[in-house]
Amino acid sequence: MKRVNASLKAKILLLSILPLILVTVAITMISLSQARILSEQEINTFEENLLNSKHQELQHYVALAMNSIAYIVDKAEPGDKEAEAEVKRILQGLTYGDDGYFFLYDREGTNLVHPIQPELVGQNLIDLQDTNGKYVIRDLIDLAEKGGGFYRYLWRKPSKGDLEEKLSFVVNVPKFNWMMGTGLYIDDIAKEVADIRLKVTRNIRNTFFTVVVILSGTVIVIALVGVAINMHASQLADERLRELAHRYVQFQVSQRRNFARELHDGINQLMVSVKFRLELARDKLVKKDDSAVNDINKGCDVLNMAIQEVRRISHDLRPIQLDDLGLESALHSMTNDFSERTSIEMNVLLELPEQRLPDDIEISLYRIAQEALMNIEKHAEAGHVGLTIWSREGYIWIEVSDDGKGFTPDKDDSGIGLLNMRERTELLSGRFSLKSRVGSGTRLKAGFAIL
């Protein structure tokens, strides 16, 4: 009888453990498979975004180079040797970073400008092939003659001396029939993607081992006490995931709301004004009123304002200077523009760490400074503004102060600008404070952990 009871208990215990093991294994395999698929999709998206940023950066550099020689090309005639020499001289001096330069070739494939490898100047490289068998110069010339575009190939990286994959953007120089372009080495993209893929693989492997350990512990507990079901850890994980998803949705909704307000309060009003002006001009033309032309001109002026507003919103979404020049240069540019535009005296003191700050902290500091200056311009009636950034005890701090008319924070701090700054700071678990008094100016301070 005891043997029967023991056998029955063993069977009950086995029936209790076996479904748990099977379900856990099945869920784990499905979750790991989905994690691999999602992570690969995220990695591909990340790689595409990096390449798109490289594309935009190259187009930006080539546009700058073309602008620098445009006045010469416009005035030159075909065969003008002095103009050709001046264009070569300008492009020879245009470099950026450790490996950034501009190259120039004629239609036959002869190198005209190469600041990094001057020994190539004068050589005909039309038949030059990389290790993959691509006719690099020939393909670049053909691409430029078709209107320009991007091209990937292998080329020696000056800072390393090794062959690395390079992405170039080329255009045709009018009148001279030259191919001009520049390129960026994208070995860093491959390295970043490989690092991320390695981290994802390591995380998945650690997750698998963690699940195995948890499962083993659960089986031991079930074997000791019978049947025990504990969903506490899973419930906590689900709750945390829901909380993170909720915060993300809130942030996304907030950003979209701000964008909608910008469009509604800015562009929409300008477009409505243009509509009324043009309708008025139409009515006057019907009545043969001579002032119709003046109304149309005013409508065009307002439409031009709408275009500038679109550009401003685009800049507000992601300032190019912050990516190209860094936070310090971007802030100096912004404050100089503010001072010139408003005639308000600026006192700027920036003590940034030697190492570049994380991207989310950089953009938050920039946006807080931008929003604060905008509020001062609109409301403060100030004569002097101070902007200070410093780091201390693992925090990076920003402070914006003015000697304007001030306000009562408890009553007047519900504006969109102040809410945006406060929410942006709290989203990164930062510290935000605001002190103001009517007639005594305003002092705004925010801090973010950098360690």
Range from 105-109, 362-366, 419-423 that averages highest in pLDDT: 105-109
Residue 140 near residue 105 (C-beta atoms within 8 A):
yes
Helix (H) or strand (E) holding 302: helix 292-317
Check whether 112 has a pLDDT greater than 50.
yes
Task: Report how far apart, in Å, the C-alpha atoms of 84 and of each of 64, 90, 106, 116, 119 are.
Answer: 18, 10, 11, 20, 20
Q: For residue 39, is it within any domain?
A: yes
Q: For residue 230, is it within any domain?
A: no
Which of 290, 313, 336 delimits the end of a domain? 313
Provide φ and ψ at 434, rounded to 5°: -140, 125
Statement to judge: residues 70 and 209 lie in one domain: yes
Which of 313, 333, 363 delimits the end of a domain? 313
What tens digit of pLDDT does each residue of 315-329 get?
565 566 676 778 898
Check whether 222 has a pLDDT greater than 50.
yes
Statement to judge: residues 85 and 144 lie in one domain: yes
- Find, among 302, 306, 327, 307, the residue nearest to 389 by Cα: 327
- Concatenating the DSSP letter of every residue in 140-153 gives HHHHHHTT-EEEEE
Check whether 254 has a pLDDT greater than 90.
no
Q: For residue 330, is it within any domain?
A: yes
In the numeric block, which tokens belong to residue 99?
């490996």
Statement to judge: residues 277 and 348 lie in one domain: no
Other CB atoms closer than 10 Å to residue 387's CB: what's the count?
22
> Which amino acid is present at 236?
L
In the numeric block, which tokens belong to residue 233?
């850890």
Give the pLDDT band (50/70/90) at residue 343: very high
Statement to judge: residues 371 and 291 lie in one domain: no
Statement to judge: residues 168 and 262 lie in one domain: no
**What total of structural domains would you count in the chain?**
3
Residue 326 near residue 356 (C-beta atoms within 8 A):
yes
Q: For residue 231, is it within any domain?
A: no
In the numeric block, which tokens belong to residue 331?
């802030």
> Given CA atoms 58, 332, 350, 364 in this order, what sign does their dihedral have?
negative
Statement to judge: residues 349 and 305 lie in one domain: no
Residue 440: partners with Cβ closer than 8 Å, 6 or more residues away: 406
What tens digit of pLDDT does each residue of 273-322 get?
776 777 777 667 666 655 666 767 777 677 667 766 655 665 565 566 67
**Domain range enclosing 36:** 1-224
Check whether 262 has a pLDDT greater than 80.
no
Statement to judge: residues 143 and 13 lie in one domain: yes
Question: How much is the average pLDDT of 342-363?
Answer: 88
Which of 224, 257, 282 delimits the end of a domain? 224
Statement to judge: residues 57 and 189 lie in one domain: yes
Give the pLDDT band (50/70/90) at residue 3: very low
- Concatenating the DSSP letter of every residue in 168-228 gives EEEEEETTTTEEEEEEEE-HHHHHHHHHHHHHHHHHHHHHHHHHHHHHHHHHHHHHHHS--
What pLDDT, on the 0 to 100 scale, is given for residue 420?
A: 81
Residue 302: partners with Cβ closer than 8 Å, 6 or more residues away: 270, 273, 274, 277
Q: For residue 233, is it within any domain?
A: no
Check whether 229 has a pLDDT greater than 90.
no
Statement to judge: residues 95 and 125 lie in one domain: yes
Provide φ and ψ at 218, rounded to 5°: -65, -40
CA atoms within 13 A on the CB side of 343: 1
What tens digit of pLDDT does each residue of 382-411 get?
999 999 999 988 899 999 999 999 888 776
Residue 172 near residue 179 (C-beta atoms within 8 A):
yes
In the numeric block, which tokens belong to residue 400?
């914006």
Other CB atoms closer than 10 Å to residue 330's CB: what's the count?
22
**What Rg, from alpha-carbon coordinates, does the chain have?**
31
The DSSP code for 268 is I
CATH number at residue 434: 3.30.565.10
- Find, among 422, 442, 441, the residue nearest to 431 by Cα: 422
| Alpha-carbon gap, residue 431 to 418, rounded angstroms | 14
Statement to judge: residues 148 and 47 lie in one domain: yes
- Find, among 322, 316, 421, 311, the residue nearest to 364 by Cα: 421
> Which amino acid is present at 301?
D
Residue 50 near residue 188 (C-beta atoms within 8 A):
no
In the numeric block, which tokens belong to residue 429?
């678990």
Check whether 245 has a pLDDT greater than 60.
no
CATH number at residue 103: 3.30.450.20
Statement to judge: residues 260 and 407 lie in one domain: no
| Alpha-carbon gap, residue 135 to 129, rounded angstroms | 5
Q: For residue 183, is it within any domain?
A: yes
Q: For residue 97, is it within any domain?
A: yes
Q: For residue 55, is it within any domain?
A: yes
Task: Report how far apart, in Å, the C-alpha atoms of 171 and of each of 63, 145, 182, 398 are.
Answer: 10, 8, 10, 43
Helices (H), 349-433: 359-375, 409-412, 416-427
Mean of per-residue pLDDT scores for the chain: 78
Statement to judge: residues 340 and 402 lie in one domain: yes
Residue 397: partners with Cβ closer than 8 Å, 6 or more residues away: 388, 389, 390, 391, 445, 446, 447
Bridge partners, 170 (sequence order): 149, 181
In the numeric block, which tokens belong to residue 250?
């809130």
Residue 299 near residue 278 (C-beta atoms within 8 A):
yes
